[in-house]
Amino acid sequence: MSQSPFARTSLEIAREHITILLVRFGEITGYPPTLVGRLARGEPKFARSYRVNDFGFRSYDTVNSRLSALWPTGVAWPAGVPRQAPAEIEPEVLADLAARAEKHRYRALPGGAEWPIDIPRPNLRANQETYANG
């Protein structure tokens, strides 16, 4: 934790919130960072670049509202991150996600069982390192 007597900047707080959202969304969906970036901001490299590139509040609002719309039902939104109203997600994105889910549904667990929310999906460590290292 910083020893500075001053409050963090709004940009630092926004980047922290986006990091929390991207990491958690990747954890619960098992999606790779490129797909999470494409879903959150329309840019496959977003999950790797937002920490070093210009990042405005419009980007923050876009990411927050898109992930709000895509957040799995029954999974708690991260504490301490304000949740915005869900954005309208393009039909082709939803169709792509549905096709992806169907394709991987039977490879996940025997009998087509749903993946338990409290058990990390495979390759989770690689995804977390990507978000953490930028």
Using the CB atoms, write b or e for 12-48: b if 16+ within 10 Å: eebbebbbbbbbbbbbbbbbbbebbbbbbbeebebbb
Name the amino acid, one letter, at 28: I
Q: How confident is the model at residue 122 (pLDDT cuts 50, 70, 90)?
A: low
Instruction: Give me the pLDDT at residue 125, please.
Output: 45
Q: Could you tell me how far CA 67 lies from the centroid of its own chain?
A: 6
Look at residue 127 and tell me whether its pLDDT is greater than 50. Answer: no
Rg (CA), the chain: 16
All structural domains of the chain with their residue ranges: 10-133
Look at residue 113 and tell me whether its pLDDT is greater than 60. Answer: yes
Residue whose token pair is 């719309």:
69
Q: For 53-86, what is each residue's pLDDT tens digit?
A: 777 888 899 999 999 999 998 899 999 999 999 9
**How far is residue 133's CA from residue 116's CA, in Å, rounded to a whole number?**
27
Strands in the chain per DSSP E: none
What pTM value is reported for the model? Answer: 0.73
Instruction: Give me the pLDDT at residue 92, please.
Output: 93
Q: For 79-98, what is each residue's pLDDT tens digit?
A: 999 999 999 999 999 998 88
Instruction: Give me the pLDDT at residue 124, please.
Output: 46
- What angle do the packed helices 10-29 and 33-41 form, to 10 degrees? 120
Look at residue 10 and tell me whether its pLDDT is greater than 70. Answer: yes
**How far is residue 15's CA from residue 75's CA, in Å, rounded to a whole number?**
22
